[in-house]
Amino acid sequence: MMSRIAFAAAFTATLLLLAACANPENRQASMQAAQQSDQAKDDATCRDKGLKPGTKDFDACLERLAGARDNEAAAQERRRIDFQRTLGGGTSDYSGH
C-alpha cells in the first residue's frame, strides 16, 4: 500500500514538472534569466582581466565571450542532431525540430 502511495506521489510530481517545462512563459523566463546570468559572468570575467567597462578592449572581451558561447551552443546542437540520427530518430532532411 505504501509503495503505491509513493509511486502515485512520484508520478504526480513528475507530471507537474513536465507541465512546468511545457509552459512557454516559464521557458522564456528561464532563458532570460540564463542570458542575464551569462552577461553578468562575462562582465565579471572581463573585469577580472583588468579591463574597464566602456572601453574598446572591454567590449571586445564581451564579444569574444559571447561568440565562444554561441559557437559552443551551435556545436551542442550539431551533436544533438547527430545523436538523434544515430538513434534512428532523424532522417536526411532532419531539421532538429
Q: What is the mean pLDDT of residues 73-93?
A: 82
Answer yes or no: is pLDDT of 97 > 80: no
Radius of gyration of the chain from its Cα atoms, rounded to whole angstroms = 21
- Helix, strand, coil abundance in the chain, percent, nearest 5: 80, 0, 20
- Position 26 scores a pLDDT of 76
Indicate the pTM of the whole model: 0.59
Q: What is the mean pLDDT of residues 39-52?
A: 94
- Position 23 scores a pLDDT of 72
- Position 7 scores a pLDDT of 63
